[in-house]
Structure 1
Amino acid sequence: MLNGKRQIVTQHNKIANKERNGRAGRTEHSGSVGSGLPPSPSWATYKYLRQSSQVSLLKFLAAYSTTMQILIVILLMGFLLASAAPFSSSQSDSGVNVWPKPRNFSWPQPQAHLLSPNFAITSPANHKYLSSAVKRYHQLLLSEHHRPLVNPSSSVRINTSAPPLLTLSITVADLAAPLHHGVDESYTLTIPITGGAANLWAQTAWGAMRGLETLSQLVWGDPSLVAVGVYVWDSPLFGHRGVMLDTSRNFYGVEDILRTIEAMSANKLNVFHWHITDSHSFPLLLPSEPDLASKGSYGSAMQYSPADVTKIVEFGLEHAVRVVPEIDAPGHTGSWAEAYPEIVTCANMFWWPDGVDWADRLASEPGTGHLNPLNPKTYQVLKNVIHDVSTLFPEPFFHAGADEIIPGCWKADPTIQSFLSKGGTLSELLDLFVNSTFPYIVSLNRTVVYWEDVLLDDNVKVQATILPPEHTILQTWNNGHNNTKRIVSSGYRVIVSSSEFYYLDCGHGDFLGNNSLYDQQTGSDTGNGGSWCGPFKTWQTIYNYDITYGLTEDEAKLVLGGEVALWSEQADPTVLDARIWPRTSALAESLWSGNRDAMGMKRSAEATDRLNEWRSRIVARGVRAEPIQPLWCIRNPGMCNTVNSFG
């Protein structure tokens, strides 16, 4: 049996690899380790299975394990559904949409049956997070009654007298796979044209959750209708697809974070990067260092307790979203001085004193303070913080910041002045700090993520020899493709958050008071909205950004994925949803299935109508996403496009 199982998988992989290698520019970057299962059911695979079926199907199936039998049946069903038009996608034509667009979606004869009011889902019972997701989606499927902006009835044959969809059966091959980077999120979903029973197969529970979301988007109306005759095979192009939220500059309640994670899950995003602390406040209450929050937060009502963190982390697991903590240091640590003034340089000083050159400023924005690498107590406190955070967050990635070391802040300290007068350098100070903290984080079985500055800053940076690539990931935010290329060409894995494309706070003006820039009668800085990283990043800008542009195939493999970032100088819970959504939906699709169509052309024009529909659905689900067009545009297809080029 084992040899037979290995034979069909090997044969399938040979076929799939041959086809994949012939497909220019279609490389997966999920970082998954080999699962022994086919990475993508191909057309050639279906032909192979069809030829195999010339022998007795029962005898053929009897040679394999139960799991493999289910996989083969699903593949055969997919072949029958796809035979008229393999891997065709008619979802945008039908008005029924899945966001992000699946990698392979076949619906050759758009039809819909009723969803039975007694619809039931059967799934493995011994995975608490999958069980929670099944319960949640079961309720959503029966109660959502979504009304599309464009009625699908004109392009979908609706048959309310046909047998309704009664059940969904979920099969998971590996229930033990943890939610870590590189976990297999693929799934196969079949909804037979005869109704009755649908099947969802996934390698892991996390992939099954992605499939449940897809099914939920194939249901609409009241009474509920469901697309039938559908075959989906889906898997992300990139394994890291995230949102970074800054909760230091302005505070967000637990419910705001949970709502964001829930919306991320609906968009098949999988990393909530939590920038918890900064110079402005320290809102995380830590058992070993309680004074950091009690003195450094905005107040007792603006703190996250260990119970809050547990709630957020568990909620993330229930929605297949990892929660990655960031404790930024040694820069951006002014809030630490409320509890430990002796370990923070230039704390509570005016950020850019009158008459001082920009190069000699104390911070790049209001909110000063750097940890002092020469004070031994710095490391006592910091190691307590790292230990507590690693205990609270089981996630294997630990983001340690290390961005924007401002020379003027360190130079303001007498002990550092003495160190520099004896021939020391600021880069040597950063070396000392990283050498004193990096090994400890790694000893806790963590991979350390730093902002790119730690290695690429023009003035203060460490030697590459102290950051072994096997334990280090760099997150890029400057100079677009150029810095991505510099990082991967040095052998480091990278997460892309280019401020030119992925910063969601840009374009809202500057937050400085007494700013003469705005005292003009002829318009002010209209090119970038008065924002250092302007202009505003439209959803099209985000959607069309290619994060592996200009990289070799081997370099592209080091790109883990990307994150949009919401820094909170001018954001708080009142604008949170609108700042993030639906622009982040654009990131979600571009990193899940790409931003190009089958011909290799950018598909943002085709995505517009689909994003309008998706935005409407998530608004109905409670996410206050901003509109991307007037409703008139949706009601008058094509009339809001341009057929001419600007510039």
Structure 2
Amino acid sequence: MFSYSILLIAALCGAATSDPSTSTDLLWPLPNGNTVGSDMYSLDSKTFMFVPAGKGGSSDVLKEALERYMKLIFLPSPVPALASSITAPMDKLTVTVDSSDETLALNTDNSYMLDTSMSMLSAKTVYGALKGLETFSQLVSTNSMGQFQVPSFKANDVPSFLYRGFMIDTSRHFLEMKTIMDHLDAMAYSKFNVLHWHIVDDQSFPYTSIAFPAMSVKGAYDQNHIYSQDDIAQVIKYAKYRGIRVVVEFDTPGHTQSWGKGIPNLLTPCYANDKPTGTYGPINPTLDSTWTFLHTFFTEIARVFPDSYIHLGGDEVSFLCWESNPDIQKWMKMMNYTNYAQLEQYYETKLLELVKTIGKQYVVWQEIFDNKLEVLPDTVIHVWKGGDNWPKEVYNITKAGLKTLLSSCWYLNYISYGEDWPKYYQCDPLAFNGTAEQQALVVGGEACIWAEYVDSTNFLPRTWPRAGAIAERLWSKTDFSDLHSATTRLHNHRCRLIVRGIPAQPPSGPSFCPHEWEE
């Protein structure tokens, strides 16, 4: 049997990397319920094959994944390995998928069982199989003799949270299609399963609407910075084939300045001294034309984005323009409303009911809850504020019986000199004083990167591998919290991302990868 040994690289720089042939140091996120044996099997790119089986064995998603991973497992090893005593060759990995159902939803099973000594990977769904294939691919290393090898390894792996998301912002700065696709690849390599696409905002409206084409013609930066319907379909399909849902966000009634450029009378005219100022505030909820537009628009969105959820925003709604507008003041008196929070309640209630009638569920930012607006029982509240006080917010939301999603501690757009990923790694969405029933309502979390200072020139290196810290926290058990082990594994994951074409920046100071980034 091959004895366990350690290969130290860049030790003076704190970048110690264990020999991947005998440890889990190549794995990210760390699988739950894993054991590593002492046997080692060789793989030959000319003879090794994946063998699909089960009811889902003929899935197009699985077929494409097997072709993709046949290439990935025979890429150069991200870190050097020692020569190993080979127990036997591995000629195949049988991939058994129990179900032929390819539905992607919040409760889609992502678990899998992997046993390399038995040449077996099994999963209930094709998306669980994708996660198992990623783990298998990470176990493959190249020894000093140039052989591809994989250790005896068993895992009965299931993610800690159903929702492991990442939010991109394509309004403040546009992201090119290739950047989005590369990001989806990196998400799959880290076992994220939701792309939250904050596609439009005040600054620009790059979504090309079928029913309202003037919104992107007049609201986008220009016609080189838009997403066509074909672009969107391509992103959704590319994501699905990597086990990633696409949850789009159209944030209203605030954050809608770009909307008003293409839809007359949608936004509220602001007044000063009884005269229009020429500026506009949130969507005007008092006009019938507003609701005709919203129904048509969201009906289109429900068709274009097939996920069962839409993110409806609802954050940072300023009442100042509503308060200044004489027509809204008259309407408020007619409705016997005494404060503008009631107008916000009116808007949100109607919007949520509208979205429900078109067959969608929804996520909203936490202001909806904080402002004591009534929501339907299946609403998911997205927590983004509170700093270190987010546990109180999560407690209150779950105490009210509502599902919640955490982002407060995972804003990747905040950068500083030095190593910052440990603070993301140590944020636990269940670290609040709630009952078991309350904790069960925490469906997961999201990394967010707002794009005031991010576009395709710096998005990927700024995001990766820092986002990996969040990916492991959402996948692996919370007792996997050893920063020393995580530092080694995250460094190795960064090197793997580089080998796979993702320009990931160094996570922990001076170090090196055997294969440096080449565009």
Scaled to the shorter chain, the TM-score interval is: 0.7 to 0.9
| Cross-structure match for 1:596 | 479
> Who is 1:435 aligned against?
349
2:309 is the alignment partner of 1:413: no
Mean CA deviation greater in 124-133 or 245-254: 124-133
2:312 counterpart SS class: strand
C-alpha distance in 2, partners of 1:413/1:605?
Answer: 58
**Structure 1: which amino acid aligns with 2:61?**
Y
Cα distance, 1:224–1:495 mapped onto 2, change above 3 Å: farther
Partner of residue 464, structure 2? 581
Q: Is the 8 A contact 2:249 2:311 kept in 1?
A: yes
> Quick one: percent identity of the two aligned structures?
30
Stretch deviating more after TM superposition (484-493 or 418-427): 418-427
The one-letter code of the counterpart of 2:473 is S
Aligned residues of 2:21 and 2:84 also touching (Cα < 8 A): no
Output the CA distance in 2 between the equivalents of 1:448 and 1:94: 42
* Counterpart for residue 187 of structure 1: 112
Structure 2 CA distance, aligned partners of 1:90 and 1:407?
Answer: 59
The residue number in structure 2 matching 1:101 is 30
Q: Where in structure 2 are the equivalents of 1:384-463 lying within 5 Å? A: 384-420=296-332, 424=337, 425-457=339-371, 461-462=372-373
Counterpart-to-counterpart distance in 1, 2:305 and 2:443? 21
Match of 1:138 in 2: 70
Conserved? CA contact 1:191–1:231, under 8 Å: yes
C-alpha separation in 1, matches of 2:142 and 2:159:
29
Q: Distance in 2 between matches of 1:450 and 1:137?
A: 36
Query: Match for residue 175 of structure 2?
Result: 252
1:240 aligned to 2:163?
yes
Q: Is 2:392 the counterpart of 1:482?
A: yes
Paired amino acid for 1:278: D
Cα distance between partner residues in 2 of 1:566 and 1:295: 26
CA distance, structure 2, for counterparts of residue 314 and residue 451 of structure 1: 27
Deviation string 1:423-474 (CA, Å, 9 cap, x unpaired) is 52212211221232211211222111111101203xxx52x2xx1213x111
Residues 419 and 508 of structure 2 are in contact (CA less than 8 Å); yes or no, is this contact kept in structure 1? no
- Structure 2 residue aligned with 1:165, among 82, 87, 90? 90
Q: What does 1:299-448 align with in structure 2 at a 5 Å threshold?
A: 299-345=222-268, 369-420=281-332, 424=337, 425-448=339-362
Q: Which runs of 5+ in 1 are unaligned?
A: 1-88, 354-361, 509-528, 530-535, 636-647
In 1, Cα distance between the equivalents of 2:27 and 2:280?
46
1:279 aligned counterpart, secondary structure: coil
**How much is the aligned-residue C-alpha RMSD, in angstroms?**
2.5
SS of the aligned residue for 2:204 comes to coil
Higher helix share: 1
Contact 1:191 1:199 in 2 (8 A): yes
Instruction: Tell me how far 1:633 sits from its aligned partner.
Output: 8.8
- CA shift for structure 1 position 507: 4.1
Structure 2 counterpart of 1:491, from 383, 393, 401: 401
Distance (Å, rounded) in 1 between the aligned partners of 2:170 and 2:495: 27
Q: Deviations over 1:116-146 (max 9, x none)?
A: 422111114531111111111112223x122
Q: What TM-score do you get using the length of structure 1 for normalisation?
A: 0.70
Aligned residue number for residue 99 of structure 2:
174
Amino acid at match of 1:561: G
Is this contact kept in 1: 2:22–2:38, CA < 8 A? Answer: no
Query: Runs of 5+ in structure 2 lacking a partner?
Result: 1-17, 515-519
Q: Pick from 430, 436, 446 the counterpart of residue 553 of structure 1.
A: 436
Which residue of 2 is the match for residue 266 of structure 1? 189
Cα pair 1:333 1:368 within 8 Å, conserved? no
- Cα shift readout 1:625-645 (whole Å, capped 9, x = no counterpart): 11122445999xxxxxxxxxx
CA distance in 2, matches of 1:128, 1:317: 11
1:346 Cα deviation (Å)?
5.0
Which amino acid counterpart does residue 486 of structure 1 have in structure 2?
N
Instruction: Tell me what 1:127 maps to.
Output: 59
1:412 & 1:260 partners in 2: Cα distance? 43
Q: Please, what TM-score do these two structures have when normalized by structure 2?
A: 0.87
- Return the structure number with greater relative CO, CA threshold 8 A, min gap 6: 2
Q: Which moved more, 1:133-142 or 1:291-300?
A: 133-142
Contact kept, 8 Å, 2:94 with 2:119, in 1: the verdict is yes
2:124 equivalent to 1:203: yes
| Paired AA for residue 157 in structure 1 | S
Query: Taking structure 1 as reference, are residues 299 and 625 closer, same or farther at Cα in structure 2, changes over 3 Å only?
Result: same
Structure 2 residue aligned with 1:542: 424
Shift of 1:114: 3.6
Task: From the CA coordinates, give the structure whose radius of gyration is larger.
Answer: 1
Q: Give CA-to-partner distance per residue, 1:56-103, whole Å, 9 cap, x none.
A: xxxxxxxxxxxxxxxxxxxxxxxxxxxxxxxxx996973742110000
Structure 2 residue identity aligned to 1:141: I
SS at match of 2:38: coil
* Distance in 2 between residues matched to 1:633 and 1:99, nearest whole Å: 18
Paired residue secondary structure (2:452): coil
Number of residue-to-residue matches in the alignment: 481
Question: Structure 1 residue 212 and structure 2 residue 133: aligned?
Answer: yes
2: CA distance between counterparts of 1:387 and 1:132? Answer: 32
Question: CA–CA distance in 2 between the matches of 1:140 and 1:619?
Answer: 12
**C-alpha displacement at 1:574, in angstroms?**
0.9
Which of 590, 600, 611 in structure 1 is aligned with 2:490?
611
Supply the distance in 1 between the matched residues of 2:368 and 2:211 (Cα, whole angstroms): 27
**TM-superposed deviation, 1:329:** 0.5
Other-structure match for 2:14: none
Cα displacement (A) at 1:395? 0.2
Q: 1:224 to 1:91 in 2, by over 3 A?
A: closer
Q: Give secondary structure in 2 for the equivalent of 1:118.
A: coil
Task: Summarize the Cα distance change of 1:369–1:259 in structure 2 as closer, same or farther, 3 Å threshold.
Answer: farther
